[in-house]
């Protein structure tokens, strides 16, 4: 592929864990050319062959599309600056995820809207892993909304960002495991519920509890789903198979359950199904896994960018 045929891409916020992954993916992407990447404290350094500049010096006009991995609360301002300069944008922060201005970029679900979007809000990591598992059941009316859906999720620490905090030190996290934002306090919960309602018609209750894992990357979600009717494992797997059999970035397990090692460093969500013995009413337990930095962030952003640009969807990605 000729360098001249590469799409010029700008990256905002390239020094956090997500931004670093994004820069790594885009600099190896055969259809993209990173024309600038910003970072504040690391400005002047070279990463993956790109010279980092301060955001005030970002040459927006040189890019055709801008991807932002800036922090929540900061990102919107600069994304809007890129939009004002006439650029298409993918925002990896939470700033536009609940906004009607943006298309929610859960690629497998909203692909046609992503293709036409000027601004894509890249989904949160936890919702990505939950929604791809729950939506097929919700859309078929299989979730019993008179009982609660319970999700216990666990994430590697890169999900908590790179800003130094005592509770994220190796000496604190290693050999530890803890729940946080317990009692439906997590910021990504409204995004999850809103999308589950909009795309799946779900109006029931849901209890979401994230945990901090002593690993660098990866999310595993254990999703307890009350059902409106009995569904054995194979039938449930068949539903996922019918929905996702042409999707390169969704791996439906057959008789197995995923763990982090099935997904790290890949732009993939893995979905497994287990029947539940010794309970009186029908239910299933789903296990889903993603790499929080890839399908949960930078990888899905590239996937969305590919869709927006009309490139093959997995260009530059390993699914």
Pick one of 54, 62, 254, 281: the residue that binds its own copies (CB under 8 A). Answer: 281
Residues 6+ apart with CB under 8 A from 219: 125, 126, 129, 153, 154, 155, 156, 159, 260, 289, 290, 291, 292, 296
Residues 137-156 that bind its own copies (CB under 8 A): 147-148, 150, 152, 154, 156
Quick one: tokens of 264? 């790290």
In degrees, rounded to 5, the angle at the alpha carbon of residue 227 between the alpha carbons of residues 221 and 231 is: 95
Residues 155-184 that bind its own copies (CB under 8 A): 156-158, 162-166, 168-179, 182-184
Strands 46-47 and 32-38, sheet pairing: unpaired
Least distance to its own copies from the beta carbon of 242, Å?
21
Least distance to its own copies from the beta carbon of 255, Å?
12
277 touching its own copies, by CB under 8 A: yes
Task: Please identify, among the stretches 89-97, 204-212, 234-242, 298-306, the one whose residues bind its own copies according to the rule CB under 8 A.
Answer: 204-212
* Dihedral of alpha carbons 225, 228, 234, 236, sign: negative
What pairs with residue 154 in β-bridges? 211, 220
Pick one of 45, 185, 232, 241: the residue that binds its own copies (CB under 8 A). Answer: 185
Instruction: Using alpha carbons, select from 55, 39, 57 the residue that is nearest to residue 47.
Output: 39
Active site includes 319?
Answer: no
229 touching its own copies, by CB under 8 A: no
245 touching its own copies, by CB under 8 A: no
Residues 6+ apart with CB under 8 A from 118: 83, 88, 89
CA distance 290 to 228: 27
Window 50-79: contact mask with its own copies (x via CB under 8 A): ------------------------------
Least distance to its own copies from the beta carbon of 102, Å?
24
CA distance 307 to 277: 42
Binding residues for its own copies, rule: CB under 8 A, are 17, 28, 147-148, 150, 152, 154, 156-158, 162-166, 168-179, 182-185, 189, 205-207, 209, 211, 213-218, 220, 222, 224, 226, 257-261, 264-265, 274-281, 283, 285, 287, 318
């Amino acid at each position: 592929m000729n360098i001249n045929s590469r799409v010029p891409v700008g990256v905002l916020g390239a020094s956090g864990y997500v931004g670093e992954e994004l820069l790594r993916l885009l600099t190896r992407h055969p259809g993209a050319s990173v024309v600038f990447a910003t970072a504040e404290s690391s400005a002047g350094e070279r990463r993956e062959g790109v010279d980092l500049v301060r955001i005030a010096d970002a040459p927006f006009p040189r890019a055709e599309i801008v991807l932002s991995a800036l922090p929540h609360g900061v990102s919107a301002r600069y994304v809007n600056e890129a939009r004002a300069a006439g650029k298409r944008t993918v925002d990896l922060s939470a700033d536009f995820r609940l906004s009607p201005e943006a298309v929610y970029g859960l690629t497998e679900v909203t692909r046609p809207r992503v293709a036409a979007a000027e601004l894509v809000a890249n989904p949160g990591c936890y919702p990505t892993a939950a929604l791809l598992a729950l939506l097929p059941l919700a859309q078929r009316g299989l979730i019993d909304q008179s009982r609660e859906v319970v999700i216990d999720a666990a994430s590697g620490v890169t999900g908590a960002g790179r800003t130094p905090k005592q509770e994220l030190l190796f000496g604190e996290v290693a050999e530890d495991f803890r729940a946080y934002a317990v009692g439906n306090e997590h910021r990504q919960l409204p995004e999850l519920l809103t999308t589950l309602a909009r795309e799946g018609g779900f109006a029931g209750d849901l209890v979401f509890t994230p945990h901090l894992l002593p690993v660098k990357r990866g999310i595993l979600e254990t999703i307890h789903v009350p059902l409106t009717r009995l569904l054995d494992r194979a039938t449930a797997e068949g539903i996922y198979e019918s929905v996702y059999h042409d999707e390169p970035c969704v791996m439906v397990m057959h008789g197995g359950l995923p763990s982090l090692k099935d997904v790290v460093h890949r732009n993939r969500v893995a979905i497994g199904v287990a029947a539940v013995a010794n309970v009186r009413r029908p239910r299933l337990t789903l296990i889903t896994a993603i790499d929080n930095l890839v399908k949960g962030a930078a990888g899905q952003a590239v996937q969305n960018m590919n869709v927006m640009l009309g490139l093959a969807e997995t260009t530059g990605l390993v699914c």
